[in-house]
Amino acid sequence: MDIQKITKDFKALQRQLHALNHASGILSYDAQTVAPAASDEARGETLGTISKMQYELLINDQVKDMLQTLTEQEANIDLQTFREAQELQRDYKNSTCIPKEEFVEYIILTNKATSVWRHAKNNNDFEVFRPYLEELVKTNIRFASYRDSSKPPYDVLLDDFEPGMTQLYLSEYFKQLRDELVPLVREIGQAVGPATDWLNKSFGVSKQAELSDRVMALMGVDKKRCILGQTEHPFTEGFNKWDVRITTHYHEDNLLSSLYSVIHEAGHALYELGIADELQFGRLAGGVSMGIHESQSRLYENMLGRSLPFAQSLLPMLKEGFPEVFASISSYQLYQALNAAKPSLIRVEADELTYSMHIMVRFELEKALFDGSLLVKDLPGAWRELYQSYLGVEVPDDRRGVLQDIHWSGGSFGYFPSYSVGSAYAAQIYDKMAEDIDVEGSLRNGNFAPINGWLKQAIHRHGGMLKPEALLVSATGKPFDVSHYTGYLTSKYKELYNF
Amino acid sequence: MDIQKITKDFKALQRQLHALNHASGILSYDAQTVAPAASDEARGETLGTISKMQYELLINDQVKDMLQTLTEQEANIDLQTFREAQELQRDYKNSTCIPKEEFVEYIILTNKATSVWRHAKNNNDFEVFRPYLEELVKTNIRFASYRDSSKPPYDVLLDDFEPGMTQLYLSEYFKQLRDELVPLVREIGQAVGPATDWLNKSFGVSKQAELSDRVMALMGVDKKRCILGQTEHPFTEGFNKWDVRITTHYHEDNLLSSLYSVIHEAGHALYELGIADELQFGRLAGGVSMGIHESQSRLYENMLGRSLPFAQSLLPMLKEGFPEVFASISSYQLYQALNAAKPSLIRVEADELTYSMHIMVRFELEKALFDGSLLVKDLPGAWRELYQSYLGVEVPDDRRGVLQDIHWSGGSFGYFPSYSVGSAYAAQIYDKMAEDIDVEGSLRNGNFAPINGWLKQAIHRHGGMLKPEALLVSATGKPFDVSHYTGYLTSKYKELYNF
């Protein structure tokens, strides 16, 4: 066995997989930004062919043996190669554990379910979606058992988005959130918040686009390696550290919505832009997990982006771009407006404080669906109860209730918790960063270099080398601890609302 | 031998090749339109990997045998499959006839030569480029002999851009152009042309972009399948009939330049958009040759686009978009301005009449370089002589002379003639079309449907099924005859200049 030869072949395989990923990624980006409307079907053919080529590259006995050998040779190969082999072996298992015909049937099911969900949401008709959701849950339980029958199905799904995460752990996590935050959320639901009606103006798209450019520059996003596009829904796609794309959607009647989606996506982008050179083109050249990725976007969007010193840096740009709106506004008024909180119905419109309550509802319902303690037919009622209990709001219809999110229709169960966990990671990372450098001073001076430098060193450069928990320990010196998050929210909102 | 199985594998191979072509095409389009500046090198890696995958897909003994079998089974397979096999076998031979190391060396040479050419042009210094050009000519002579040592090297190169074309044929072709057009060109060089100074205005880019949209709609370009982008240099890229991209470059000081580049590229696009469904995703799903492709772009740009009835349709749009410039202009004044002719130095700025003279110079010089009757060191002088003799212009420096075009630095010899031949094809096609339908009436009514329909039927739908000469015979009922072109130019310009 020539381990050097195997390693060389393994690197070549990763480059090939990367090239095909890069190609299909650009095809998708192009599709969402500029491609002609009728081009979808033919592009689907190409994407299908590429995906088949990816499958054939990865899934064959030669690669299987290669991965087996490499993962058994931890002592004789470098750590990066070992981790790459580990992750590709995980991909290998995920791609092969489900019988092909069942997988094809499932793809057809999710496509159909997504289109039925769209119809159901538009018509506020949960009943038409119900049988699809039942089938999706059933199939995911079966698939989870194919992947690892020794674990509860929901743990298998959670592990897919956030390696190492379990329902037991999350139950504890959300219990602490519930205990510490629900009273605050309910109290704020009764309080009179700061005035924000002065923001109800119209904001021209080209002025907003100029502002986006300036804010990205302020944040230290390298224009030579990252561009901003416009799409229906904002997203980030990183192909490698020299080519990251973020997008936003401008709403003339809502400046903060597009501005903060740019800051959020720029946080994702800075992560991808900061991954070490030596990881590029390989399996580890990307964020390590959904949760860690969200930690970076939410750190920039919330902990940094909605802070008072950032409001101080931002305000002059707003005054220049929209003098008629911001001329007489103070930084503290802006800071208040950036953090207006109110329990509400819709997750994607939720503020920083109440956001995790929306996630908690979904976590509890998913867990109950997968351990059999809740039936799909009882889901809308359970949803209404939990919204009443955690957020104190009455859900008037399923469109604004259980039907609001697309995720389940595409078979994504166990995805939601990573949004909340990301914020909690972010709070812990922030606290450590604030011990090491003057974060508030940097923000106030409009100088993101120390912040970006610290995060690159602690988080970004590692890409997929360290698993989430290990990364957090390496960055902050201690295991995941949700009290950073609850403490941050409690003190911020108590101050803002004078409790 | 199971011919059905072989045919099926062959179709699958073509789909895979198409998918990789599609992917690298979109990567290139993206690169030229939106990609971040620093992304080039990593994209180069991906394109390199994809190109290696393409090579490995096509170049192996299994495919070699498959192509051999299919091309020997003309009687037992359908014509499309036979032609696909023929063309892929041609690709196969072109890819394998040159020893790999020599090919790699050549790629390095062309990259270096292109960068040296850029420097040479900027500094008006032919001498620094000379040794590279000598090496390029030498290498192309050697490569031509690898491909087919039974033919003169220049014939091998011509055949690459325009299958079937030879230097003997082109010598006759250009002799007729020279005899019939040079006197006219020289006479026009002395004449006072129509006034065009009223066009020396500034034209806002967004107004020009609106005009492009309207003109593409007028021409019947399907917006759902074809988009217009902006790039440094205009081009057309067709991925399949549902996704064609054209680009332009807006010059504030030159409305006609970008407008007619849009019309030119839209002509290319209509060809790609009209190729038959059954050819899609296969080797024949594209224009059959450079010359036929140019015939379509030039037919729309010149024979149709610079005609009096088109000027009549166009003028109201111009009056709406730029009233301050066009308010008092008549269609005939516009028609005159669209066809102002003047012998000049630069090919890409040449008018319809003098354009082929520029090509004739290049053809004669290429022919002489490849038959050994001209040395590279004597090229600048020969260039000056021919420009004096055919166009009656004095070449003041090599920057505006022999160094003006990029083609030779990239090793493209035998490419230029297809530009001129394309115009001559177009004139012959136009004459046949005008026998069958009321072309002028359609243009005057702003209704391109009969024109597009006729061209789709006669030319577009065939894609690569018929070779250029056969296509022309099929479309016009007779072999290629340059007198359509000389006759068209002579009568048009004699009328315009009152000779």
- Smallest CA–CA separation between A347 and chain B, in Å? 33
- pLDDT given at position A348: 93
Spell out which residues of chain A touch residue B205, defining contact as CB-CB under 8 Å: none
Percentage of chain A modeled with pLDDT above 70: 100
B206 interfacial to chain A (CB closer than 8 Å): no
Q: Is the pLDDT of residue A283 over 90?
A: yes
**If pLDDT is split at 50, 70 and 90, which confidence band does B423 have?**
very high
Which residues from B are below 8 Å from A37, CB to CB?
Answer: 223-224
Q: Quickly state the pLDDT bin for B192 (edges 50, 70, 90).
A: confident
**Residue A186 pLDDT exceeds 80:** yes
Number of residues assigned to chain B: 499
Please judge whether B242 and A23 are an interchain contact, meaning their C-beta atoms are less than 8 angstroms apart.
no
Cβ neighbours for A464, distance < 8 A, ≥ 6 positions apart: A83, A87, A279, A283, A284, A285, A286, A287, A288
Amino acid at A305: G
- pLDDT confidence bin for A499, thresholds 50/70/90: confident
Q: Would you tell me the crossing angle of helices B40-58 and B79-96 to the nearest 10 degrees?
A: 120
Contact (CB<8Å) B46/A33: no
A339 in reach of chain B (CB within 8 A): no
Q: CA A136, A141, A145, A151 torsion: positive or negative?
A: positive
- Interface contact flag, A42 B15, Cβ < 8 Å: no
**pLDDT for residue B110 is more than 90:** yes
Contacts of B54 in chain A (CB under 8 A): none
Report yes or no: A51 at the B interface, CB cutoff 8 Å: no
User: For residues A17 and A53, is the Cβ–Cβ distance under 8 A?
Assistant: no
Contact of A226 with A241, CB cutoff 8 Å:
no
- Percent of chain B beyond pLDDT 70? 100
The answer to whether the CB atoms of B224 and A280 lie below 8 A apart is no
Tell me the mean pLDDT in the region B311-320.
98
Q: In the predicted model, is pLDDT for residue B200 greater than 90?
A: yes
Of A24, A36, A224, nearest to B226 by CB-CB distance is: A36
Which amino acid is present at A217?
A
Q: Which of A242, A275, A277, A279 to mutate to test the interface with B (most CBs of B within 10 A)?
A: A242
Instruction: Tell me the C-alpha to C-alpha distance, in Å, between residue B489 and each of A273, A386, A438, A488.
Output: 57, 80, 75, 79
Residue type, B411: G
Catalytic residues of A: 265
A226 touches chain B (CB under 8 A): yes
Q: Which residue of B has its CA nearest to A48?
A: B19
C-alpha distance across the termini of chain B, in Å = 68
Q: Does pLDDT of A193 surpass 90?
A: no
Q: Does residue B195 have a pLDDT over 90?
A: no
The stretch A466-483 carries a mean pLDDT of 97
**For A327-372, how does the pLDDT look when each residue is reduced to its tens digit (9 = 90+)?**
999 999 999 999 999 999 999 999 999 999 999 999 999 999 999 9
CB B106 within 8 A of CB B139: yes
- Given an 8 Å threshold on Cβ–Cβ distance, is B43 in contact with A243? yes
Q: Could you tell me if B23 lies within 8 Å of chain A, comparing CB atoms?
A: yes
Q: What percentage of chain A reaches a pLDDT higher than 90?
A: 97
Residues of chain B contacting residue A20, judged by C-beta atoms under 8 Å apart: 23, 50
Distance set, CA A129 to CA A121, A122, A125 (Å): 9, 12, 7
pLDDT tens readout for residues B74-100: 999 999 999 999 999 999 999 999 998
Mean pLDDT, to the nearest integer, of A470-486?
98
Q: Compare CB distances from A35 to B46, B243, B281 and report the shortest one's residue.
A: B243
**Cβ atoms of residues A264 and A247 within 8 Å:** no
Residue to test with chain B: of A11, A41, A49, A56, most B Cβ within 10 A: A49
Angle, CA A323 vertex, CA A317 and CA A329 arms, to 5°: 80
- Of all residues in chain B, the one with the smallest CA distance to A16 is B49
**Chain A: nearest CA to B42, how far in angstroms?**
7
Considering chain A, what is the average pLDDT of its residues?
96
Q: Average pLDDT, whole number, for chain B?
A: 96
Best mutation target among B13, B14, B22, B281 (most A Cβ atoms within 10 Å) is B22
In this prediction, residue A129 carries a pLDDT of: 98
Task: Quote the minimal CA–CA distance from B291 to chain A in Å.
Answer: 27
Q: Is A243 on the interface with B (CB under 8 A)?
A: yes
B29 reaches A (C-beta below 8 A): yes
Interface contact B22, partner A, CB < 8 A:
yes
When pLDDT is averaged across residues A95-108 and rounded to a whole number, the result is 92
**Hey, what's the torsion of the CAs at B436, B441, B446, B452, to 10 degrees?**
10
Tell whether the model's pLDDT for residue B21 goes beyond 90. yes
Q: Residue A471 pLDDT > 80, yes or no? A: yes
Query: Cβ contacts (< 8 Å) between B226 and chain A: which residues?
Result: 36
Give phi and psi for A239, each to the nearest 5: -95, -35
Nearest to A226 by CA among A207, A206, A248: A248
Residues facing residue B254 across a β-bridge: B251
Query: Which residues on B lie below 8 Å from A242 (Cβ)?
Result: 36, 38-39, 41-42
B39 and A239 within 8 Å at the Cβ level: the answer is: yes
How far does the CA of residue A13 sit from the closest CA of chain B (Å)? 10
In this structure, the strands spanning A243-248 and B226-230 are unpaired
What is A38-59 written as a DSSP string?
GGHHHHHHHHHHHHHHHHHHHS
CA distance A357 to chain B (A): 38
Distances in whole angstroms, Cα of residue B226 to Cα of each of A427, B105, B274, B411:
48, 38, 12, 31
* pLDDT tens profile A236-264: 999 999 999 999 999 999 999 999 999 99
Q: How far is CA A127 from CA A124, A134, A138, A154, B140, in A?
A: 9, 11, 17, 24, 71
Residue B23 has its nearest CB partner, among A42, A46, A227, at A46
Q: Taking CA atoms, what residue in A is nearest to B29?
A: A30
Q: What is the mean pLDDT of residues B195-224?
A: 96
**SS3 sequence of chain B:** CCHHHHHHHHHHHHHHHHHHHHHHHHHHHHHHHCCCHHHHHHHHHHHHHHHHHHHHHHCCHHHHHHHHHHHHCHHHCCHHHHHHHHHHHHHHHHHHCCCHHHHHHHHHHHHHHHHHHHHHHHCCCHHHHHHHHHHHHHHHHHHHHHHCCCCCHHHHHHHHHCCCCCHHHHHHHHHHHHHHHHHHHHHHHHCCCCCCHHHCCCCCHHHHHHHHHHHHHHCCCCCCCEEEEECCCCCEEEEECCEEEEEECCECCEHHHHHHHHHHHHHHHHHHHCCCHHHCCCCCCCCCCHHHHHHHHHHHHHHHCCCHHHHHHHHHHHHHHCHHHHCCCCHHHHHHHHCCCCCCCCHHHCCHHHHHHHHHHHHHHHHHHHHCCCCHHHHHHHHHHHHHHHHCCCCCCCCCCCCCCCHHHHCCCCCHHHHHHHHHHHHHHHHHHHHHCCHHHHHHCCCCHHHHHHHHHHCHHHCCCCCHHHHHHHHHCCCCCCHHHHHHHHHHHHHHCCC
- Quick check: A49 and B19 CB within 8 A? yes
Predicted pLDDT at B357: 97
Confidence of residue A36 (pLDDT cuts 50, 70, 90): very high
Does A239 contact B at CB distance below 8 Å? yes
Per-residue model confidence as pLDDT tens digits over B427-480: 999 999 999 999 999 999 999 999 999 999 999 999 999 999 999 999 999 999
**Catalytically annotated residue among B84, B135, B237, B265:** B265
The terminus-to-terminus CA distance of chain A in angstroms comes to 68
- Measured CA to CA in angstroms, residue A21 lies from A27, A86, A104, B23, B437 at distances of 10, 19, 21, 10, 49
Average pLDDT over residues A84-108: 94
| Interface contact flag, A15 B45, Cβ < 8 Å | yes
Q: pLDDT category, B193, cuts 50, 70, 90?
A: confident
Q: Which residues of A fall within a CB distance of 8 Å from B22?
A: 27, 42-43, 46
* Interval A366-425: pLDDT, tens: 999 999 999 999 999 999 999 999 999 999 999 999 999 999 999 999 999 999 999 999
pLDDT recorded at residue A234? 95
**Residue B1: pLDDT band by 50, 70, 90 thresholds?**
confident
Residues of chain B in contact with residue A18, where contact means CB-CB under 8 angstroms, are 46, 49
- B-chain CB neighbours of A53 within 8 Å are 16, 19, 53
CA distance B238 to B275: 11
Residues 6+ apart with CB under 8 A from A235: A32, A246, A247, A265
Cβ of residue A59 closer than 8 Å to a chain B Cβ: no
Q: Do B224 and A27 touch (CB under 8 A)?
A: no
pLDDT at A1 over 80: no
